[in-house]
Amino acid sequence: MNMKRIPLLALIGILQISCAPDTKKTVAANASSPSASYTLDAGKGILNNVHSPHVKFKSIDFGECQWTEGFWADKFKTAETKMIPYMRSLLTGDKGHALNNFKIAAGLQEGKHKGMHWHDGDFYKFMEAIMYVYGQNKDEKLRAEIDDYITIIGKAQRENGYLQTQIQLFDDREPYENRKFHEMYNSGHLLTSACIHYRITGQTNFLDIAIKHADLMYSLFMTDKERYGRFGFNQTQIMGLVELYRTTKNKNYLDLAEQFINNRGAYEVEETPETKGYPIGDMVQERTPLRESNEAVGHAVLALYYYAGAADVYAETGEQALIDALDTLWMNVALKKMYLTGAVGQAHYGASTNKDKIEEGFINEYMMPNTTAYNETCANICNSMFSYRMLGLHGEAKYADVMETVLYNSALSGINIAGDRYYYANPLRTVHGARDYDKMNTEFPTRQEYLECFCCPPNLVRTIAQVSGWAYSKSENGIAVNLYGGNNLATTLNDGSALKLKQETKYPWEGDIAISIEACKDEPFDILLRIPEWAVGSKITINDEEAKIETTPGTYATINQPWKKGDVIRLNMPLDINLIEGHSRIEEVRNQVAIKRGPVVYCLESVDLPEDTSILEAYINGDTKNLKSAYHPEFLGGVTTISGEVLLRKETANSTAMYQKVNQPEWNTFKTTFIPYFTWSNRSNEETEMSVFLPVIWE
Ligand SMILES: [Zn+2]
């Protein structure tokens, strides 16, 4: 392949890109007026896949499902009243500085850029979170707030559509000079956020900015493959472009999204001026073309955003090679590289099986360290985003199982109960002295009030704010219940008929779900209830009569019949306390078990042990009869805890030796409490020890 490089300045000259931070010149590459050439689609889903030909489960419109009570209603309320106000104070103030960056680029304020290269993208995610809240509560102050941000962002955008404060505010940086500057990441979030803004508000002011920006991207990245072929570090632009295609029907954006997939892996893996700054090869999924990939590699966030984008492209194109690869990659993650909590990205630093250096990402299959697990909050969320797309493509419950596992465990663990302290990494065990936090930039001994690398917090808050949009999907002839929680649904089925449901439940703390039909068509249609893979022995009744419906765990139970107002479906899922062991090839959890009840993974935290007792001294009694669950409405935001017995190993003689002769240990029995993993590190401002997996003793 001809890898001849075009001198950078010559290229800049050809494209007439403005480089000075405060000047705005027009680029000849895009002559068309953006707002003149699009027709807008009416779909209002988080993914607007109403017309996507290869999607089995279509998104409901955002706002059609409203939380009413219980777990997700509470979390949404916290997002609305705590998480977003606190994040607003950070990002629009001097500490977070994200809005300042746009104001400076807009010429409204003096100052310098502050924050990571991807800070613009993280602000777009924060805006997206606000829009989801607006989509539920219709608080006009939020809409006005977003309009103010859009005005500033519009002023910061150059005439040619370029919009990247991390470049514009530096005299010595030029557009699309090096992929480490994360321009594609910021672009992707801009496009997605603008599409969501249009779908929820009906306004086009943000969309106009996104279109102008995407047209510039198209003019550059569709035509010049030599220079830009390997561009895109964290590729959210693929998802963003597909949503923009779905919103505007302009096929250029879909073509460009596909082009980014076609380019990746098509070029020689060597360091060039455009790739300097981060590891190359598997780190950015460019060693192997996606269609030939059979192993998830590299940075976990990069990989899963990329796969999620590819799933969006497949939804439109139906290309078999693409879905075959995505199926393989999803299985590789879910069966060989995922933690019990749904978390992914086992190592901060490591190597791929092709011997490429990687950061914050996947390593070997079944290599699942607990204490050093990286598990970036974003990566875990990306895992659920990829799964949500695969759920749409296949309509199979296993994808929603992963979404749910992530949501209740490794997503929520990234934020405290109060909604104002964050974790970036989500290990499954913490031990005093095991890690030198001074040498780390994203791992911390305690929850942090601000993270310099702020990608995770807005990603998590927008996810919490949008879960209602994931809760249901429209199946071919009915409605699928993907996630359980107290809510009202008012939607239209694919045939246009109105459907209203009311769901009542205390899930995930209780396993009873009641769904009442409030309005529906006369003809029979399907109601699909997801039976999670752990829900063995689930029963369904309809109007108090047992239904002859298969409830196979890990599938959707499909009920097809005529429905009428007043019908009540009840699903009972037994919420047993289960001990979980890992695959026998996961050496890190050999002879250990974790406690899981329903979708919730539990942990033991050192505040629930006698003073000065290490988590490493605690063993689980394998007799589950000693474990009891109880709901505590005032504890940790309202959770079910599990009380039970642990055995504490009495101190061994020489704990400093690497290896030592062992005698049969002596034990103290201690009555303790296991808490949901996502609630750990909420009861002490000091560093605590915690473990999901504990060694087990069977009597
Ligand atoms: Zn992150």
pLDDT at 650: 87
pLDDT at 652: 60
Ligand 1 centroid–CA 45 distance in Å is 24
Ligand 1 centroid–CA 424 distance in Å is 6
Ligand 1 centroid–CA 453 distance in Å is 7
Ligand 1 centroid–CA 40 distance in Å is 32
**Cα-Cα-Cα-Cα dihedral of 114, 120, 126, 130, to 10°?**
120
Ligand 1 centroid–CA 377 distance in Å is 6
Ligand 1 centroid–CA 442 distance in Å is 9
The rounded distance, in Å, linking the Cα atoms of 684 and 3 is 56
pLDDT at 305: 98
Ligand 1 centroid–CA 185 distance in Å is 12
For 17-46, the pLDDT digits (tens) are: 333 333 333 333 333 444 445 689 989 999
Cα-trace Rg, the chain: 25
Ligand 1 centroid–CA 456 distance in Å is 3
All residues at 6 or more sequence positions from 215 whose CB lies less than 8 Å from its CB, including other chains:
30, 32, 34, 161, 252
Handedness of CA 116, 118, 124, 130 (dihedral sign): negative
Residue at token pair 């009540």: 568
The rounded distance, in Å, linking the Cα atoms of 555 and 497 is 26
Q: What is the pTM of this model?
A: 0.94
Instruction: Decide if 579 contacts 620 (C-beta within 8 A).
Output: yes
The rounded distance, in Å, linking the Cα atoms of 473 and 61 is 10
* CA neighbor of 415 nearest in space, from 186, 688, 84, 66: 84
The rounded distance, in Å, linking the Cα atoms of 249 and 109 is 37
Ligand 1 centroid–CA 390 distance in Å is 22
Which tokens is 239 given?
A: 């998802």
Ligand 1 centroid–CA 304 distance in Å is 12
The rounded distance, in Å, linking the Cα atoms of 308 and 693 is 30
Ligand 1 centroid–CA 425 distance in Å is 9
Percent of the chain with pLDDT over 90: 90
Instruction: Decide if 392 contacts 612 (C-beta within 8 A).
Output: no
541 DSSP β-pair partners: 546, 570
Instruction: Decide if 368 contacts 293 (C-beta within 8 A).
Output: no
Ligand 1 centroid–CA 652 distance in Å is 40
The rounded distance, in Å, linking the Cα atoms of 94 and 71 is 34
For 530-566, the pLDDT digits (tens) are: 999 999 999 999 999 999 999 999 999 999 999 999 9
pLDDT at 39: 82
Ligand 1 centroid–CA 124 distance in Å is 14
**Parts of the chain with a pLDDT under 50:** 1-36
Ligand 1 centroid–CA 234 distance in Å is 11
pLDDT at 657: 85
- What is the per-residue DSSP string for 246-276? HHH--HHHHHHHHHHHHHTTSS-----TTTT
Burial of 160 (0-12, 13-18, 19+ CB in 10 A): buried
Burial of 174 (0-12, 13-18, 19+ CB in 10 A): middle
All residues at 6 or more sequence positions from 7 whose CB lies less than 8 Å from its CB, including other chains:
none
Residue at token pair 């689930």: 538
pLDDT at 651: 72
Long-range contacts, stretch 501-504, CB < 8 angstroms, 24+ apart: 502/68, 504/68, 504/69
Instruction: Decide if 334 contacts 402 (C-beta within 8 A).
Output: yes
Cα separations in angstroms, 304 against 138, 208, 378, 551: 32, 28, 10, 31
pLDDT at 663: 87
The rounded distance, in Å, linking the Cα atoms of 77 and 70 is 11
